[in-house]
Amino acid sequence: KAGVTQTPRYLIKTRGQQVTLSCSPISGHRSVSWYQQTPGQGLQFLFEYFSETQRNKGNFPGRFSGRQFSNSRSEMNVSTLELGDSALYLCASTPSGVTDTQYFGPGTRLTVL
Amino acid sequence: GENVEQHPSTLSVQEGDSAVIKCTYSDSASNYFPWYKQELGKRPQLIIDIRSNVGEKKDQRIAVTLNKTAKHFSLHITETQPEDSAVYFCAASKGQAGTALIFGKGTTLSVSS
């Protein structure tokens, strides 16, 4: 089975722009979670989607949003980018949403200039 | 909300020695505790996990112990090898719908030969 994939792998944006990141879960996995990883804050939970519904949300401003499609692929969007949004954005998928073993993608490295 | 503290932040050992990383959590409702290993430039990978109905779990050179009363859990690596060098993250989850993992800040393990 193919693993979790994320596109693009690298992005450079300027302040004020917006960005959309994509995540394709392992085939058959219905839950997708997003995490932000930075050297200072570590891995922080952004949100989780299951069957196209956001089921849980972390403590991030409304500039961070996401969605999930009927094929379980997920996108996250960050509007009005700030320098502090520079990070590695990781998504993870789980088989059914009630199991907890999360399989991570390789991440998207976002740099905001 | 849940808070996970992880210690130490860095750990240096000689090849063949044992390494222990400790985590404490705040939410007594948490019942799933995975450990992830992240090598430089790579995605986090699950190395072992434990659920609250078990006190200890072992997989070859890796073991995890859980003390629910004290709300702490530990990762033990025996007979360390240079390839064990990486950043290790502990996490906690309530294991319910939403599957949000709350991570510790990570431990950088260096194994010198």
Pairing of strands A108-112, A10-13: parallel
Question: Which of B42, B46, B103 lies closest to A101 in CB terms?
Answer: B46
Evaluate if residue A75 carries a pLDDT over 70: yes
Distance from CA of B91 to the nearest CA of A (A): 10
Tokens of B33: 């505790």
Q: Does B30 touch chain A (CB under 8 A)?
A: no
Nearest CA-CA partner of B99 in A46, A59, A60: A46
Residue B59: pLDDT band (50, 70, 90) is very high
With beta carbons less than 8 A apart as the criterion, state whether B25 and B4 touch: yes
For residue B82, count CB atoms less than 10 angstroms from its CB and return exposed for 0-12, middle for 13-18, buried for 19 or more. exposed
Distance from CA of B94 to the nearest CA of A (A): 9
pLDDT value at residue B3: 92
pLDDT value at residue A101: 82
Closest-CA residue in chain A for B6? A42
Evaluate if residue A98 carries a pLDDT over 60: no
Amino acid at B24: T
With beta carbons less than 8 A apart as the criterion, state whether A25 and A19 touch: no
Nearest CA-CA partner of A43 in B6, B89, B24: B89
DSSP code, position A110? E
With beta carbons less than 8 A apart as the criterion, state whether A2 and A104 touch: no
Model confidence pLDDT, tens digit, residues A26-56: 999 999 999 999 998 899 999 999 989 998 8
Model confidence pLDDT, tens digit, residues B7-48: 999 999 999 999 999 999 999 989 899 999 999 989 999 999
